[in-house]
Structure 1
């Protein structure tokens, strides 16, 4: 049996590639307008996702999960910087009320993994987009690695059966599908 992490990577590989290639910041010469678009895409995706996750107290939101991070505050602060063009948020469908803990582990896999990509983007864009502080991309001063390693260990410990792994893959694919759908709207 394939472990949870490998199954999640396999299940989301094509979606991950599609998203990485299509993000506003993926293009050479991306500037502040593209960063604003990127942040608004993430805002529209993460705000309802975070609100949904806060309703649970098990799985990745329980004792086994990681401490919450105020990513939305960093994102909002970046959007308030001078030169950032804003649009109204897109409306999105609600997340499933009865989602299993394994499904939510899959969703959080995508949410936490996005921080790894943000660190790469920060390294590439910090000098070019200065003096914008790029708070959201910079994230934790220690970088995303320590948190990602803790997440992977918790995921491996709590998503173990074939059914749980399949449910986690469904959740991760849903998380990617929602941000890809939002990207198509923008």
Structure 2
């Protein structure tokens, strides 16, 4: 949805250039830092989203992806032995109780969209960071494209009114703001 892209464009640009893996010579320490930051953001966010059974967590739900488990597996990989771990706590901010389905569609838009960026990073870093398997960035054998297309179709089917679109944009902006605050 163009409204979501427009609402988040500036935040997306800041995130793309400010993440640990944005450096042209990113190494395993940067990957570890990237994973720790994503875990601090994603673990409480996934727990919050898991409390709902409608919207993107309802019938339109895509098959679950164990993103935090992929992050944990990457952090435990022997290739990161000796790499300094980031011990900062998880995001302590409170996501809104009773958030509308449209707001949660916006939040989920950011999570799902991050996998597209991860696939680009995987292509760039698979060789330089070998033998680390980069599980989190790899996003499956088929890549993130088919899942993204399915998500966008479900989003379009479920977020239609001006109010819903505005609420989805707020959710997406809040999701970006929370991860940007962790850099």
| TM-score scaled by length of structure 2 | 0.96
Does residue 144 of structure 1 match 2:130? no
Give the length in aligned residue pairs: 179
State the distance in 1 between where 2:63 and 2:162 align. 27
Q: Please report how far the alpha carbon of residue 140 of structure 1 lies from its aligned counterpart in structure 2 after TM superposition.
A: 1.2
Corresponding residue of 1:119: 119
Corresponding residue of 2:134: 134
State the distance in 2 between where 1:32 and 1:77 align. 14
Q: Unaligned stretches of 5+ in structure 1?
A: none
SS of corresponding position for 1:128: coil
Does residue 17 of structure 1 match 2:17? no
Corresponding residue of 1:81: 77
SS of corresponding position for 2:115: helix
State the distance in 1 between where 2:122 and 2:168 align. 29
Corresponding residue of 1:48: 44
Q: Please report how far the alpha carbon of residue 87 of structure 1 lies from its aligned counterpart in structure 2 after TM superposition.
A: 2.3
Corresponding residue of 2:27: 31
Q: Please report how far the alpha carbon of residue 89 of structure 1 lies from its aligned counterpart in structure 2 after TM superposition.
A: 3.7
| TM-score scaled by length of structure 1 | 0.94
Q: Please report how far the alpha carbon of residue 85 of structure 1 lies from its aligned counterpart in structure 2 after TM superposition.
A: 2.3
Cα RMSD (Å) of the superposition?
Answer: 0.8
Corresponding residue of 2:101: 101
Q: Please report how far the alpha carbon of residue 141 of structure 1 lies from its aligned counterpart in structure 2 after TM superposition.
A: 1.0
State the distance in 1 between where 2:145 and 2:88 align. 30
Name segments (4+ residues, structure 1) moved above 4 Å: none
State the distance in 2 between where 1:89 and 1:49 align. 16
State the distance in 2 between where 1:131 and 1:139 align. 17
State the distance in 1 between where 2:50 and 2:40 align. 16
